[in-house]
Structure 1
Amino acid sequence: MALVDPRSARPTRAVLLGAAAAGLAAGGVALWRRARRGPPLPRERSLDSTAALLREGYLFIGRRCRTLGSDVFRTRLMGRPAICAQGEAAARMFYEPGLFTRRGALPPTALLSLQDLGSVNQLDGAAHRWRKALFLDLVGSDRVAALGAAFDAEWRVAAEAWARAHRIVLFDEVREVITRAVCAWAGAPLAPGEARRRAREFGAMIDGAGAVGPRNWRGLLLRARTERWARRLIADARSGRRRAPPGSPLEAVAFHRDLDGRRLPVAIAAVELLNLLRPTVAVDRYIAFAALALHRHPGWRERLARDGAARTAFAQEVRRLYPFFPAVGGRALQPFAWRGRRFRRGTWVILDLFGTNRDPKSWREAEAFRPERFLTDEPNAHNFIPQGGGDPATGHRCPGEPITLELMDRALAWLAGEMRYEVPAQDLSVRLDRMPAIPASRMVLSGVRPAGAPARAAPA
């Protein structure tokens, strides 16, 4: 049969019908594929939103969720497709065991500043659960109480020096207090001249993780120095040149054996030791925010001084409302369906921690500071996620939350009960385009003195 009518040089009716059938088939396949994937996600119009993320910081995801009328949307970050989500339902999806990996989900600069290659956070499945069990054992109640006692002792020594000073920067001072306490607790006590240096290194790692440029470069540079110190600790503990106290975190990490029965390479063991120490030092931010909240809500002071349950509720509300780390990323290990939509293996999903903790669908008066909510309502593992969600034993939730609450409780007991001080005029604003955030003045206190001591006159 001729494909073209020779008299008119036009396609024959058969060709036209065939083309129409082929077009309908192709369209049907496309519709089938689209239906299989589910309705399309709202998409941000920008070609790439990296600059907007850096400019808006903690508010980036929440603003677009409100604009698009959806708690999940598509965008591009650093040239790569990404799905951003917030809220309890999104957290349940994100923390489904075995669904996401952290490998390839953080910018390399943030990964190297924080978890680093080969760490527990980069593992999945049985290997992750086995390594995670090491950390969960180290944050048992008796160990956490011992760390709290060490923190208390270091705060007491520091408070004596603060009482002789006209002013202190609480954030900087608490960072050193925690560094001294956690290193001693871990079995690696610091010499007097070493604590300030280690505190500066830990602080730079944390401060540089959310930055691009010099702040990040400084964090990476100082991390290299800290890793050399940690590798020496591990090597010396194994060789016997340094005694690792029995049952100490240093001993546990240095002699830990993975599922294959072999000890961790020295470099990886050093990384894991830092993954215990560095996040503990990061509680300095929460303590600075707790001091800021106490300054803004002085009516809680008397209650916090005498009531442990109130201190816990106050600490939890600080963790809910004040900015810590803004978001966490994961890559899908396998195809999955959520809310009628199908997602491919390798999909990059970014969960908004800050926005989920302030989600009005989960929290009444979400933007208000209301510690009493934690005295009457119990949050769940997916609507309250300041340090991640889900079960820390089976997923990637931070196992160090008991340490955070212990140190915050002890700090609030000092700030509300055992110490008196003034908060002089200063810039207490918190910029949400700076990640991780901190009060601009880093919380300056003056006239620090024991409770019951009279206020000192300001120097002329």
Structure 2
Amino acid sequence: MTQNEQTPQEHTLDNSLALLKDGYDFIFKRRREMDTEIFRTRLLGQPAICMGGKDAAELFYDTTKFKRSGAIPKRIQKSLFGVDAIQTLDGDAHRHRKMLFMSLMSRERLDAFAELLREEWEAAARRWEKLDEIELFGESQELLHRAACRWSGVPIDEKTVRQKADDMGDMVEAFGAVGPRHAAGRRARRRTEEWLEGFILDLRAGEFKVPEDTAAYAMAFHRDLQNRELDARMAAIELINIVRPIVAIGRYVVFGAIALHEHPQYREKLAADEGKYRQWFVQETRRFYPFTPFLGASVIHDFQWKGHEFEEGTMVLLDIYGTTHDPKLWENPDVFRPERFEHWDGGPFDLIPQGGGGYDGHRCAGEWLTIDAMRVGLEFLAKRLDYEVPEQDLGLSLSRMPALPESRFKMRNIGLKNEAVSADL
């Protein structure tokens, strides 16, 4: 038996349609059926290796074996990330650009964002008190967009703020979609890039002034390894890569609301807790609910791993959803249980909803911000707001990427309680 024959293989001309049909469960379903952590298939007309689990994640983040350049399809770059953005870079260019993003994630700046977000939640809740019913997903996208713009130095126009928030959301919606949803995401990206490119040019010309510790300033005046300013369109793309992921946290807000609704026994604990239990709840929400389905890379050079051959140029997909639901890593993984994180050691390759490894690599620079934002939202939902959840379908289809309940989580009869929300994160 050759090394290649040791790797289970699907005998199919192309499995792209099956990937769209199975969505988040595409890789994990086949891993279970084949009882393997790795298998071969064909996607987008190319040979592909799919793998999952802790060891596979550790391998995937070895930058001597895998690269991102050329691995992300243009259709995703043109809707979600932006063409030639940080997610597509490797080596020194990636490290230099990643330092730019990480410089914005100091504890001081994260605390400043959390405070702005509390203000936006408070203002939104006061608007909601006057309404019969709201859709939490759209509302949370807007308040997150407002906080993100204020924090990053991007001007807010009250006449267009909801549309711009929706545009950020539509870019996320385009991932894993074909037809109208994907087309809407591409239109949203064009509008947003044009808007923020104009803003970057005005900022460089001195027509706007923003604090030097903001993302807008950082992107506008960042210099690459050749000591050149980024092209204005590229600076706009990377500024979007700050604001858009923050808006995407709206999905986690909805998932947290679903978890509270379906597991009401946790509400009292969360309202009384000073931080520790909320942290467990947030981490379990990130682990349990479908956010990122998989990530892609390509093989730099031929190598072998556990008897499996990896050939130069082969597309490799890491099963993110399956790794966060792997019974080898998580006891009763299909049960929502925040207490599992009481003794969790914080491993870099098991809880990977936003990527794995270290922050000097391709792990999401905004992971800490995401956790803080989820905690602020959870504190409002569990402690600061009274509301009713009308009858609705809150089911999540794993075939829909990105996942979201059809109702977007409706809430009625919203009222603010008098307790203040803690600033302790």
TM-score, normalization: structure 2?
Answer: 0.96
Rounded to whole Å, the distance in 2 between the matches of 1:234 and 1:382 is: 37
Which amino acid is the alignment partner of residue 79 of structure 2? S
Matches within 5 A, 1:184-203: 184-203=150-169
Identity of aligned residues (%): 44
Kept in 2: contact 1:99–1:332 (CA 8 A): yes
In structure 2, the residue matched to 1:24 is none
Rounded to whole Å, the distance in 1 between the matches of 2:224 and 2:269 is: 46
Matches within 5 A, 1:242-391: 242-307=208-273, 308-391=275-358
Rounded to whole Å, the distance in 2 between the matches of 1:116 and 1:297 is: 38
Which stretch shifts more, 110-119 or 360-369?
Answer: 110-119
Matches within 5 A, 1:89-168: 89-168=55-134
Which amino acid is the alignment partner of residue 175 of structure 1? Q
C-alpha displacement of 1:321: 0.6
Kept in 2: contact 1:39–1:340 (CA 8 A): no
SS at match of 1:386: coil
C-alpha displacement of 1:338: 0.9
C-alpha displacement of 1:39: 4.5
Give deviations 1:30-71, integer Å, cap 9, x for gaps: x8xx4xx45531011222111111111111111111111211
SS at match of 2:396: coil
Give deviations 1:347-386, integer Å, cap 9, x for gaps: 1100110000000000111111010111222231111100
State the 4+ residue runs in structure 1 displaced beyond 4 angstroms: none
Which amino acid is the alignment partner of residue 429 of structure 1? G
Rounded to whole Å, the distance in 2 between the matches of 1:136 and 1:98 is: 22
SS at match of 2:103: helix
SS at match of 1:198: helix
Kept in 2: contact 1:176–1:195 (CA 8 A): yes
Instruction: Structure 2: state its 5+ residue gaps.
Output: 420-425
Kept in 1: contact 2:201–2:232 (CA 8 A): yes
Kept in 1: contact 2:357–2:363 (CA 8 A): yes
Q: 2:381 aligns with which of 415, 437, 449?
A: 415
Kept in 2: contact 1:175–1:284 (CA 8 A): yes
**Per the alignment, do residues 127 and 403 of structure 1 end up closer, same or farther by CA in structure 2, a change over 3 Å counting?**
same
Give deviations 1:374-429, integer Å, cap 9, x for gaps: 12222311111000011121x11111001100110000110000111011101111
Matched, 1:426 2:392: yes
Rounded to whole Å, the distance in 2 between the matches of 1:359 and 1:104 is: 29
Which amino acid is the alignment partner of residue 106 of structure 1? I
How many positions carry a matched residue from both structures? 418
C-alpha displacement of 1:173: 0.2
User: Computing the radius of gyration over CA atoms, which structure comes out larger, 1 or 2?
Assistant: 1
Which amino acid is the alignment partner of residue 329 of structure 1? G
In structure 1, the residue matched to 2:34 is 68
Matched, 1:221 2:193: no
Rounded to whole Å, the distance in 2 between the matches of 1:169 and 1:116 is: 29
Instruction: Structure 1: state its 5+ residue gaps.
Output: 1-30, 454-460
Kept in 2: contact 1:98–1:125 (CA 8 A): no
TM-score, normalization: structure 1?
Answer: 0.89
Rounded to whole Å, the distance in 2 between the matches of 1:107 and 1:250 is: 27
Rounded to whole Å, the distance in 2 between the matches of 1:189 and 1:412 is: 27
Kept in 2: contact 1:162–1:448 (CA 8 A): yes
Rounded to whole Å, the distance in 1 between the matches of 2:34 and 2:324 is: 20
C-alpha displacement of 1:112: 1.4
Superposed CA RMSD: 1.3
Matched, 1:49 2:27: no
Kept in 2: contact 1:138–1:249 (CA 8 A): yes
C-alpha displacement of 1:249: 1.1
Rounded to whole Å, the distance in 2 between the matches of 1:247 and 1:50 is: 43
Kept in 2: contact 1:205–1:222 (CA 8 A): yes
Kept in 2: contact 1:98–1:124 (CA 8 A): no
SS at match of 1:114: helix
Rounded to whole Å, the distance in 1 between the matches of 2:56 and 2:107 is: 31
Which amino acid is the alignment partner of residue 287 of structure 2? R
**Per the alignment, do residues 147 and 240 of structure 1 end up closer, same or farther by CA in structure 2, a change over 3 Å counting?**
same
Rounded to whole Å, the distance in 2 between the matches of 1:372 and 1:39 is: 42
Which amino acid is the alignment partner of residue 96 of structure 2? W
Kept in 1: contact 2:80–2:185 (CA 8 A): no
Which amino acid is the alignment partner of residue 80 of structure 2? L
Which amino acid is the alignment partner of residue 355 of structure 1? G
SS at match of 1:66: helix
